[in-house]
Amino acid sequence: MPKKPDGAEKTDLLQGTLDMLILRTLLFGPLHGHSIAHSIQQTSREVIRVDHGSLYPALQRLERRAWVTAVWGTSENNRRAKYYRLTPAGKRQLTAESSKWDRLTGAIAQIMRTREEEG
């Protein structure tokens, strides 16, 4: 994995994972883009860093799918910002994605344990 300048390893997300992380972050209330990225970074203990080039296309995709809605407001530093809110459809999607994620990570963990036991 490529090293970042500060020594932290870059961690690539599986396709669709960013959408799930955004939906999960918005479960706790509306946030603007920068706060979403910051929350994901903090919650992951700095392992996952979402750059704006990935975040905003994902937010637009979630809006098109009606999983989030957005309204313009004023941020904590008095700037105009778009605040995103989870919709009922987004909550249902988060539940479905969470179930898939649990199955996938369980299967990967099983494969890793099996390979370690055989090796």
Looking at residue 118, its pLDDT comes to 64
Structure tokens at 42: 């903090």
Whole-structure pTM over 0.85, yes or no?
no
Domain assignment present for 8: no
Whether the predicted pLDDT of 14 surpasses 90: no
Domain membership of residue 77 (yes or no) is yes
Residue 12 lies in a domain: no
58, part of any domain: yes
| pLDDT tens-digit series, residues 26-37 | 999 999 999 999
CA torsion sign for 88, 90, 92, 98 is negative
Q: In the predicted model, what is the mean pLDDT of residues 14-34?
A: 92
Domain count within the chain:
1
Residue 2 lies inside a defined structural domain of this protein: no
